[in-house]
Amino acid sequence: MKLNIKERLMTLGLIPEKGNIITLRVVRELSNKVSFTSKEIKDFDISSDETGMVRWDSEKTKDLEFDIDITEAELGIIKSELIKLNDSSELTLEHESIYKKFVESV
């Protein structure tokens, strides 16, 4: 699946912190795939401020998408989290592109 930096951050924010052992193993793998490498952090000037807001050089990443190999199990977990947010009317405009990719496009 192709995800830009913002979508990767949004996906990381959807990964559940609790679950059964199988879910925890799946989300650990997903987190590793979606997280940023040291090289990406340096190359794209990714940083966070004192409030936790993550920033990056948008000029360097304009139109840049990363091909992330997401398994069916990983897809199912993120899709489920997005559907929960949708059902409880808690989606934001920030979620729109990943909702489209994880829920509507599959």
Report which DSSP code applies to 3. Answer: E
What's the CA gap between 47 and 54, in Å, rounded?
6
pLDDT at 84: 97
Q: Which residues of the chain have pLDDT under 70?
A: 106
Q: Which domain holds residue 50?
A: 2-104
How far is Cα 52 from Cα 99, in angstroms, rounded to an integer?
23
What is the per-residue pLDDT for 101?
96
Strands of the chain, DSSP E:
2-3, 47-48, 54-55, 66-67
The pLDDT assigned to 2 comes to: 96
Q: Whole-angstrom Cα distance, residue 78 to residue 1?
A: 13
Q: What is the mean pLDDT of the chain?
A: 94
**pLDDT reported for residue 52:** 86
The total number of structural domains that make up the chain = 1
Q: What integer pLDDT is reported at residue 3 of this predicted model?
A: 97
pTM here is 0.91
